[in-house]
């Protein structure tokens, strides 16, 4: 039986992907700051904040007691906020970078020793060049940094696949935190989840851009 681990598993995309994996018979390890929302999905829900080194290490210790190796590892955690650089508290900037970039590095750093030799690592990014809007300095910087990090990581973990998924607008609660209107043609979390599964099945690696037409 294959095993997947999802960070940010209680969010829209993470939960949609987790539900599909469970339906296909995968063992799902779900890491989230809100594990209580995952008890109906998997018995292996782990409480962890990906931006906290101690919590990530503890989560991976718990994961090691569930399975010998992880076949599909997904980082779908993240956060967003909207404020111009002159107005954003530094703590908010650090929180957004920590959730989207620092947490991705920490989670991958501690997971690599427990991944199968042919494991697939998937990171949820964004079409970062479209994110450079007033009020999104922190989010845009984090997603651009994630793109650079994943490209570099792929060169370090040869034999394992690394995919950066860059969806367009997705209908999740992220949109409650920004003063922009959700486009009518936005992708659904289920569409993104299906695209990730297709990428996994098809041996995809590298960047994967998703639009409503391709989702």
Mode of pairing for the β-strands spanning 161-167 and 70-75 = unpaired
pLDDT at res. 129: 67
Q: pLDDT for 88-104, tens place per residue?
A: 999 999 999 999 999 99
Q: pLDDT for 103-148, tens place per residue?
A: 999 999 999 999 999 999 999 998 866 778 889 999 999 999 999 9
The whole-angstrom separation of Cα 89 and Cα 73 is 32
The whole-angstrom separation of Cα 215 and Cα 195 is 7
Mode of pairing for the β-strands spanning 161-167 and 27-32 = unpaired
Query: Does residue 173 sit within a domain?
Result: yes
Q: Taking a C-beta distance cutoff of 8 angstroms, is the pair 38, 108 a contact?
A: no
Query: Does residue 202 sit within a domain?
Result: yes
**CATH number, domain at 200?**
3.40.50.720
Q: Is the pLDDT assigned to residue 186 strictly greater than 50?
A: yes
pTM: 0.92
In the chain, the number of structural domains is: 1
Q: pLDDT for 145-183, tens place per residue?
A: 999 999 999 999 988 999 999 998 887 776 677 777 777
Domain span holding position 136: 3-210
Chain mean position to CA 45: 16
Query: Does residue 113 sit within a domain?
Result: yes
Query: Does residue 85 sit within a domain?
Result: yes
């Amino acid at each position: 039986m294959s095993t997947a681990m999802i960070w940010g598993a209680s969010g829209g995309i993470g939960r949609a992907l987790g539900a599909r994996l469970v339906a296909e018979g995968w063992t799902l390890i779900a890491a989230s700051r809100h594990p209580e929302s995952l008890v109906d999905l998997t018995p292996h829900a782990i409480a962890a904040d990906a931006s906290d080194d101690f919590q990530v290490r503890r989560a991976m210790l718990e994961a090691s007691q569930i399975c010998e190796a992880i076949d599909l590892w997904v980082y779908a955690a993240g956060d967003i906020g909207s404020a111009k650089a002159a107005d954003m508290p530094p703590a908010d900037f650090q929180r957004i970078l920590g959730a989207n970039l620092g947490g991705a590095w920490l989670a991958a750093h501690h997971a690599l020793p427990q991944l199968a030799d042919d494991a697939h690592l998937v990171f949820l990014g964004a079409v970062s060049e479209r994110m450079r809007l007033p009020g999104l300095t922190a989010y845009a910087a984090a997603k651009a940094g994630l793109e650079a990090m994943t490209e570099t990581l792929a060169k370090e973990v040869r034999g394992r696949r690394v995919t950066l998924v860059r969806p367009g607008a997705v209908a999740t609660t992220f949109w409650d935190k920004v003063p922009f209107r959700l486009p009518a043609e936005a992708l659904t979390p289920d569409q993104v989840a299906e695209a990730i599964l297709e990428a996994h099945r098809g041996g995809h690696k590298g960047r994967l851009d998703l639009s409503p037409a391709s989702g």
